[in-house]
Homo-oligomer: A and B are copies of this chain.
Amino acid sequence: MNTTDPAFESRLKDSAVATEALLVSLLSDQTLPDEVTRPAHLMAAMRHGSLNGGKRLRPFLLRESALLLGGNEQAAMRIGAALECLHCYSLIHDDLPAMDDDDLRRGQPTVHRAFDEATAILAGDSLLTYAFDIIAAPETALPDRAKTELVLALARAAGSGGMVGGQALDLAAEKSAPDEAGITTLQAMKTGALIRFACEAGAIIAGADQEHRQRLRKFGQVIGLAFQLADDLLDITSDAETMGKATGKDAARGKGTLVAMHGTGWAEEKLDALTAEAVDLLAPYGEKAFILQQTARFIASRQN
């Protein structure tokens, strides 16, 4: 497994820089048509919770999936920014005292620590809402049909039957430990749904037919599983300095993960198998799929 492909790393980096620049512009204090004013304090909290943020893996997956199928790059960047706003809202709310009660995120104080709890709730609400604004905005050059499909797919991935539902199952799991099937469902929803959306959205942006859409969706599902498994492994094997957030928390809470259940050896084998499955899924696209296949390898082997 190649974990240091310089061409891949540099493409991932470039994409993160471009996503960051787009988010900076989207999250400026400048008001849009139909808006009265954007309160500066709220916008600052939204920026704190979403800028300088990591690898931007989801926008990268979204853009590469769109490019694979011939989709418009600018539109893919904007949908990627929308997805990142939604992802960041979920982190802000997850970090709240009533939820995971985290003080540190990406090496920085969480939004409710840097501002206050009420502002963090509103900044999250606002980033979630803004994701749909960005998709529907005239600046996103896509047919209305594609926009409608993206809104629906994102809402399903993020709502009570997706990410938020997974978070609700996660809270319940602290009281009553789920079995293996329960953990798998929880993780497919909490972490998997947005990663799956990222890949499927590329197909929607490209206007690809159902066959391509289903294949990208399946690819997203498989790498989503790998992502969560790698995350659970890192929670055991890494330290807070490398991760930029608290580690060892799952074990401290007695929270069941598949790694805790089956051991790190099993998890590493499972990761290899998922990576192979993801790579195979994209074989029909030949060399064009190389970047996405490298992304699958990267996800399984990442160190933070």
Contact = CB atoms under 8 A, between A and B. Distances in A.
A98 to B, nearest CB: 4
Given A132-B151, A133-B152, A165 B38 contact: yes
Interface residues of A, number: 64
A129 B158 contact: yes
Nearest to A133: B155
B128 A125 contact: yes
Given A46-B160, A96-B121, A171-B118, A165 B37 contact: yes
> Mostly helix, strand, loop or mixed at chain A's interface?
helix
A156 B99 contact: no
Contacts of A161: 31-32, 34-38
A133 B150 CA distance: 10
Nearest to A143: B144
B126 A128 contact: no
A145 interface: yes
A124 to B, nearest CB: 8
A99 B158 CA distance: 24
Contact of A125 (B35, B41, B122, B164): B164
A247 to B, nearest CB: 22
A132 B169 CA distance: 22
Interface in A120-154: 121-122, 124-126, 128-130, 132-133, 135-137, 143-145, 147-149, 151-154
A189 B96 CA distance: 25
A93 interface: yes
15 contacts: A34-B153, A35-B156, A35-B159, A93-B122, A99-B118, A119-B168, A122-B171, A128-B128, A130-B160, A132-B151, A132-B155, A133-B159, A136-B149, A136-B152, A151-B151
